[in-house]
Amino acid sequence: MSLTVLGLSGALGHDPSAALYIDGRLVAAAEEERFVRDKHAKNRMPYESARFCLQQAGLRPEQVDVVAIPFAPVSLAGPARWHYARRYWYAPDRALDALLAGNRRYRRYRQRILWCLQQLGFDPQRVVLEPVEHHLAHAASAWLCSGFQEKTAILGIDGKGEYATTFFGWGENGRIHKIREFYDPDSLGGLYGALTEYLGFEMLDGEFKVMGMAPYGDPERYDFSRLARFENGELTINTEYANVVGFRRYKDGRKGYYFSPRLVEWLGPKREGDVADEPYVHYAASMQALFEKLALDMMDYYLGDILRETGKLAFSGGCALNVKLNQKIIARPEVRELFVQPASGDAGTAVGAAAWVSRQRGIAVEKMNHVYLGPAYSNEEVIAACARHPQRPAWQQLAADEVAPRIARLLADGQPVAWFQGRMEFGPRALGGRSIIGCPSVPGVADRINEQIKFRERWRPFCPSLLDRVAPQMLRVRHPSPYMTFTFEVEEEWKRRVPEVVHEDGTSRAQVVERQYHPRWYDLICELEKLTGNGVILNTSLNRRGEPMVCSPDDALAMFYGSDLRYLIMEDILLVKEATGA
């Protein structure tokens, strides 16, 4: 039996993406933002990403058997719409809409997807379109991609899907069993997002910044327990302060926020600017601490018995990218192994929906061993991009076996380098496909990248990519970490050896690199080890602040000439920019 399933996400107005399974193998996946150069690609459909997936596989639209979408109609007979209406009683227009027209968003999304497919050459009359509940798609993206064969606990936490915000269940024998869901506005992800807005960042983007700010503060300084509670199996967000709609929103000009004026009365003015200052660092620490406590309490309550039985947990949803929480989870004695979907945000639901439909139609999907699922470019395409660029950059082509030693020498000499190799990563982490790299033993290299290249907040940490044989020496916990989805305590010796990739609290968000999935990336780190004695490299995404990660050679050149980077290596093509200034 042969089966081709195209997954398309984007129902929630952000992070559209496409993923393609052929006979259970994930052959391509990409986020729309990378192609259209608009971070999170808000209110767009996954047109370019779907086109890429089809082209990558050499498929015509009529060869796709099913199109899976991670958004489904929700019955009025279930609890979700009634819970929403009851909790938003103070906004009767929202409450009544949930009861009387609660599937309007689904119908609108379905029509937009059909329009998108028609532009791609699909016949809308013949498309087999299969909706998958949003949190079921998240759950499938974690469990089905984990490779776990035994009974597995499944956890999903995000802002919200159709109405659900949190999912507890287990997977076994190809089926996902739901234990419990929570519904909007009782959303731990929504609460974290509301505080992200209060702390001066964009919701859906700045949550990582709050997490990075938290170690600079004292979580005991302020008691945030009034914001949410978990008692007797129920999560309740205090909508006097956060997850608010309508007239309860704090407004600044014409913009409304997901927190209320009452929060500002309690904590003071909304934070502005880039400085990690008081009291806001303490607020970030308190929010992170509350988030961790409630998430762990919920996990224990609903999944504790399953975890004690099996030791396996699969986790997805945007909150699964909170690496500090994940560190706490793997520290639990009952958790033997945690798999976090590397694209845990809504972009990953394209993978989850397609994987679920494939499995339901009798085709098991392969374990997700890597995320190098986007476009790749040849030397010839790189050279053509250089010829098109207004700067007409000079370039040199290195021998293939010269690339790793040459770049390692630049790094050891203290130079940051833009590294563009192979297929682009799927998900928010740069994992050696589209990265800015540096030598983590060179003092000040992280500040230099922040100030001159990334143009981002000084207090945000940089991450290490390290050889699989080095990980047991540097990290205090032995746990698979191919996707930078965990933080680990760093051994004291290594804090001194690679200080540029150790955060304020003594941890690192590490990528442990295996050679079979990206040989050139592994070989580069080996070459740097020969020069420095440390099989570790500083790795951050190849983009500037506010921009998506680079996709094509044209994108890389635009970024290169819009920053103070001096070195860019794309496949075997090396570009060197003349130094400026004194």
Residues 434, 540: Cα–Cα separation, whole Å? 9
Of the listed ranges 183-192, 249-258, 364-373, the one predicted with least confidence: 249-258
Question: What is the arithmetic mean of pLDDT over 266-282?
Answer: 89
Catalytic residue among 14, 83, 503, 518: 14
**Chain-wide mean pLDDT for the chain?**
96
Crossing angle, helix 134-146 and helix 349-360, to 10 degrees? 80
3-class state of residue 29 by DSSP:
strand
Q: In the numeric block, which tokens belong to residue 317?
A: 């949803």
Positions of E strands within 133-254:
152-157, 164-172, 175-183, 228-231, 234-237, 251-252
CA dist 34 and 551 (Å) reads: 6
Secondary element (H or E) of residue 2 = none
Pick left, alpha or beta for residue 71 (phi over 0 → left; psi -120 to 50 → alpha; otherwise beta).
beta
Q: What number is the average pLDDT over the span 331-338?
A: 97
Cα–Cα distance, 68 to 352 (Å, whole number) = 9
- 518 counts as catalytic: no
- CA 161, CA 189: separation in Å to the nearest integer? 11
Distance between CA atoms of residues 267 and 166, nearest Å: 27
- Token duo for residue 407: 């770049």
Provide the 3-class DSSP secondary structure of residue 554. helix
What integer is the mean pLDDT of 278-306? 97
Q: Which residue has the tokens 């920053």?
A: 563
Q: Could you identify the residue written with the tokens 């080095």?
A: 470
- The architecture CATH gives domain 4-78+87-152+341-360: 2-Layer Sandwich (3.30)
pLDDT tens for residues 109-166? 999 999 999 999 999 999 999 999 999 999 999 999 999 999 999 999 999 999 999 9
Calculate the alpha carbon distances from 254 to 240, 250, 251, 257 in Å: 21, 10, 7, 10
Helix (H) or strand (E) holding 504: none
Whether the per-residue pLDDT at 580 is higher than 70: the answer is: no
Model pLDDT for residues 209-253, shown as the tens digit of each residue: 999 999 999 999 999 999 999 999 999 999 999 999 999 999 998
Asked if 4-78+87-152+341-360 and 183-339 have one fold, the answer is yes
CATH number for 183-339: choose from 1.10.3720.10, 3.30.420.40, 3.40.1350.10, 3.30.1490.190: 3.30.420.40
Residue type, position 499, single letter: P
pLDDT at 474 over 60: yes
How far apart CA 74 and CA 77 sit, in angstroms, is 9
CA 525 to centroid of chain Cα atoms: 24
Alpha helices in 255-402 (DSSP H): 261-267, 280-310, 323-330, 349-360, 379-388
pLDDT in tens, 418-451: 999 999 999 999 999 999 999 999 999 998 898 8
Helix pair angle (80-87, 92-100), 10° resolution: 170
Instruction: Kindly list the domain boundaries of the chain, sorted by start residue.
Output: 4-78+87-152+341-360, 183-339, 379-576
* Beta strand ranges found along 501-558 (DSSP E): 507-509, 511-513, 536-541
How are beta strands 536-541 and 4-9 bridged, if at all?
Answer: unpaired
- Predicted pLDDT at 177: 98
Given this model, what pLDDT does residue 451 score? 81
The 3-state DSSP composition of the chain as helix, strand, coil percent (nearest 5) reads 40, 20, 40
CA-closest candidate to residue 79, choices 102, 112, 48, 56: 102
Q: Which two tokens stand for residue 290?
A: 């509350």
What confidence category does residue 460 fall into, taking pLDDT thresholds of 50, 70 and 90? confident
Percent of the chain having pLDDT more than 90? Answer: 93
pLDDT band at 582 (very low <50, low <70, confident <90, very high): very low
Q: Does domain 379-576 fall into CATH 1.10.3720.10?
A: no
